[in-house]
């Protein structure tokens, strides 16, 4: 599976360079984990309960 660059990639690079961390929140199955796994040096995943 080939990764296709997204508009948010450049924004994410800038945030990671500036702050060193990012919180990604969004709908299921849209590529959040795939996108971050390409850029991560370390990760910490939290599972949140649905209301």
Q: What is the pLDDT of residue 51?
A: 63
Blockwise average pLDDT, block size 10, the chain, 51 residues: 80 84 80 75 74 63
Q: What is the pLDDT of residue 28?
A: 83
Residue 23's alpha-carbon distances to 11, 15, 20, 33, 44, in angstroms, are 13, 10, 11, 11, 10
Q: What is the pLDDT of residue 41?
A: 75
Q: What are phi and psi of 40, to 5 degrees?
A: -75, 150
């Amino acid at each position: 599976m080939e990764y296709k660059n997204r508009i948010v990639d450049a924004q994410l690079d800038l945030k990671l360079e500036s702050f060193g961390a990012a919180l990604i929140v969004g709908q299921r199955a849209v590529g959040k984990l795939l996108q971050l796994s390409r850029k991560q040096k370390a990760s910490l995943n939290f599972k949140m309960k649905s209301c």
